[in-house]
A and B are shown apart, each in its own frame.
Chain A
Amino acid sequence: MNNNPPIEIAPQSLRLFHQSLFKTLVYFFLLILVLAGVYKAFPLVIDALFFIVIAAIMTAVFNPIVDRLESSGIKRIYSTLMVFGGIFGIVGLGIVKGIPALLIEIGKIRDVIQQNATTDSLDTIMKSINLKIAAVVPGFQLDPDMISSLSAQFFGQLGSILAGALDTVATIIFILIITMFFLVDGTRMTKKLIGMVPNRYFEMSLNISYKTKKQLTNFLKGQLLAALGVAIQSIIGLNLLNWLFDANISGVMLIGSIAGLANMIPFVGPFMGMIPAIIVSLFNNLGDPVAATHFYFIVHIIVMFLIVQMIDNNIISPIVVSGSMDMHPLTVILLILVGSKIGVLGMFLAVPAWGISKVIIQEVYQGLKGHHLI
């Protein structure tokens, strides 16, 4: 028999227990509310972050121009407005003149592909290609239907991408407005943001912010200048091929621009830039029996792009690209694979995004090490 007296709980401890239980329940409820809010608002937050990141990158690109104008005595707001006048002018001209022309060009190429998909000339080309491949890789055969459907799909998608771009003009304008605010008030915003950092980390944060911004600007400026260099060279080269060898390549401006943008991806980029030119010339030359038999124009295109790459790698890039990406080929392939999960844009942005992150990580690490915090 248990003779122990019943345990008595002091009323005060019981009240404290109830209070703490109530507090825990309230916190738990609030946590669930916050988590639910975050879960619901997550896509919105991601969208907002995406806009901010793109606007920040654009700010890094245009900031040196605004600074230069401001240093000549023009107020910052007017300098920014002048730069934006230029951007809106170029973008507007591109939309009004360029996109309809490009859509017509793409439509023409698609029509040619669809018309010739079952013609004898395509079969002739395929037979000739297969004969040449069989000499190197016995047993390997290219299917004409597969090639034509793949090409039609490629150009069909390109058309829809451009058509989609027209729909997203509003988004672009929104990003441009954020960029404008960043350019005018960026320094004050950064100052406010860094002002919240505790004293202990303040100097380090300020230094990291400044150096990262500088590195990022140099990196982007270098990348864009190199891309512009490759685009201009490709356009000149393709025009020369048309002029000297009657290569019959249409959409030279578009192909050159794709080659320039693709060049931002190391190793794979140059080949990505070459492919549209080869496909377009292949289908533009379907009617020409001599060209369709010998494919010398493909060799010309490859040689032209190799020359462009040589000039870029040996002259332009060493001068303009200050922060080289310096990546292992395997890293690049992995990044492109990861980027492909997001789509074509992801493939394009994966390597430059990694390059930017690398610069930021390096600066943060050096800052922490310099201030003996790690």
Chain B
Amino acid sequence: MKENPKVSYPLYESFKDKLKPKRSQAQMVLSKVNVFSRLSWQEIKIIENAIHIRNYAPGEPIFKQGDPGSGMYIIIEGSVGIFLDIPNQSPKQLSKLGDGDFFGEIALLDESPRTAAATSLENSTIIGFYRPDLMNILRTKPALGAKVLLALSEVLAVRLRSTNGELVKITRHLESQEGSEDHE
């Protein structure tokens, strides 16, 4: 049986590659973060112009516990440890974050002190998106700023609901413990 030769269109092929939009690594990472995932590529490009890409060495602090919060961080490459400083003890590691993870987003909304410290665990490339950047976007592109704020509120609402659920569980557990102690 004679095999059909594959028809190729060299002109189309060469244009296809050129016409294909080129996305930077930062754009790709941003598009996967909840806060920016619903934005168009054009809007993500505006966000990309506002963000700051920083490189951290292993063990280098990103922020310390108690520092005034300024913004959120998204890991492009590397890993970050979130630590809780306990007086007279070595810091307790709460979690380890990797590529595409984000942290510190509450600081976009208020300047209250950081509740934990973040330290780079290896050579890491991290995106910093700070309150001044968000304020700039809100001032010059209010519609985009509102989209980001809405998405941020949704992230926080999900987190609040989950925390409330945890709180209910703990309260029930404590109540049942108290009940069993009274019974004894």
Residues in chain A within 8 A of chain B (CB atoms):
67, 70-71, 76, 187-188, 191, 194-195, 199-200, 202-203, 206-207, 209-210, 370-372
Contact = CB atoms under 8 A, between A and B. Distances in A.
Given A191-B52, A206-B132, A210-B132, A371 B139 contact: no
B67 A372 contact: yes
Interface stretch (B3-11, B32-40, B55-63): B55-63
Contacts of A203: 63, 67, 70-71, 128, 130
Nearest to B142: A71
A202 B70 CA distance: 10
Nearest to A68: B139
Contact of B70 (A71, A194, A207): A207
A330 B88 CA distance: 51
Question: SS class of chain A's interface: helix, strand, loop or mixed?
Answer: helix
Contacts of A202: 52, 54, 128
Contacts of A199: 54, 56, 60, 62
Contacts of A188: 49
A203 B56 CA distance: 14
Contacts of B139: 67, 71
Contacts of B56: 199
Nearest to B57: A199
**5 tightest A-B CB contacts, nearest first:** A210-B132, A203-B70, A370-B68, A70-B140, A67-B139
B92 interface: no
Contacts, number: 49
A197 to B, nearest CB: 10
Contacts of B63: 203
14 contacts: A71-B142, A76-B140, A187-B50, A188-B49, A194-B52, A202-B52, A203-B63, A203-B70, A206-B130, A206-B132, A207-B130, A370-B67, A371-B68, A372-B67
Nearest to B69: A203
A364 B91 CA distance: 30
A36 B65 CA distance: 48
B68 A207 contact: yes
B66 interface: yes
Nearest to A207: B70
A199 B49 CA distance: 19
Contacts of B141: 70-71
B135 A195 contact: no
Given A203-B71, A371-B67, A372-B67, A195 B52 contact: yes
A76 B62 CA distance: 33
Contacts of A207: 68, 70, 130-132
A187 to B, nearest CB: 6
B128 A210 contact: no
Contacts of B128: 202-203
Nearest to A366: B68
B164 interface: no
B177 interface: no
Given A187-B50, A206-B132, A210-B131, 12 more contacts: A70-B141, A71-B139, A199-B56, A202-B52, A202-B54, A207-B68, A207-B132, A209-B132, A210-B135, A370-B67, A372-B64, A372-B66
B136 interface: yes
B70 A206 contact: yes
Contacts of B50: 187
- Which one of B56, B62, B132 has the highest number of Cβ atoms from chain A below 10 Å of its Cβ? B132
